[in-house]
Amino acid sequence: MSSRTIGNHRFSMQSCRIYGKQLTNECYEKQEQMKEKCVSGGCQCGALRYKVVGPLGSTDLCHCRMCQKAFGSFGAVLTRVPFANFKWTRGKPATFQSSAHVARGFCASCGTPMFMFEDGDDFIDLATGTLDDPGIVKSLSHQIGIESKVIWFEQLHSLPHQTTAETRNPGDLPRLASFQHPDHDTAHWPPAKT
Ligand SMILES: [Zn+2]
Ligand SMILES: [Zn+2]
């Protein structure tokens, strides 16, 4: 497997693809020092990309009315990350000040909710679904804001389970081809037209 040398360490191209070409030497060096991996993520359109060095913190489900509105959903699943370990690697988010001390970040191009940040906190609450691999979060810690929980939330586990292919005609699927940014860092996006 080919490799790339950064500092005095050689990274396999597999590592470079996972950790991304946008990452700085500092990230790799810090990763090497901490013996920990970088985690990447971004918005749906690819205008925003980020990385996290080191382990993710706890993940909670917030049912509060503001998370419902900000995510257009039953609530928000948010993963806590030390702010010092977080960096935007492409673009800057737009923000909405949802209360005196809380800002919510989103992509101004595609609208993806990205994070919640409270003044003075040492951490940022990332929208878990924006991780390139949300499955690295193995479990949730708490449900909070339950005074606003929608009544149908408790029905979710008992609903019929269907794949996309089961709910769409085969002829529909080509029309539904994804324009979404892939779940890894890219040097350029969107790709140049050939
Ligand atoms: Zn976007
Ligand atoms: Zn909330």
Q: What distance in Å separates the CA atoms of residue 69 and residue 65, rounded to the nearest whole number?
A: 6
Q: What distance in Å separates the CA atoms of residue 67 and residue 4, rounded to the nearest whole number?
A: 42
- CATH number for position 81: 2.170.150.70
Query: What's the number of domains the chain is made of?
Result: 2
In a domain, residue 136? The reply is: yes
Q: Are residues 25 and 106 in the same domain?
A: no
In a domain, residue 26? The reply is: yes
Quick one: which ligand is closest to 98's CA? 2
Closest to 184 in 3D by CA, of 89, 58, 56: 89
Q: Are residues 86 and 49 in the same domain?
A: yes
Task: State residue 40's pLDDT score.
Answer: 96
Tens digits of per-residue pLDDT, 146-163?
A: 999 999 999 999 999 999
Which residues make Cβ contacts (< 8 Å) with residue 184, sequence separation at least 6?
Answer: 17, 18, 20, 40, 132
Q: Is the pLDDT of residue 172 over 80?
A: yes
Q: Are residues 48 and 104 in the same domain?
A: yes
Distance 174 CA to ligand 1 centre (A): 23
Distance 116 CA to ligand 2 centre (A): 9
In a domain, residue 90? The reply is: yes
Q: Is the pLDDT of residue 88 over 90?
A: yes
Structural domain containing residue 109: 41-153
pTM of the model: 0.80
Amino acid at 159: L
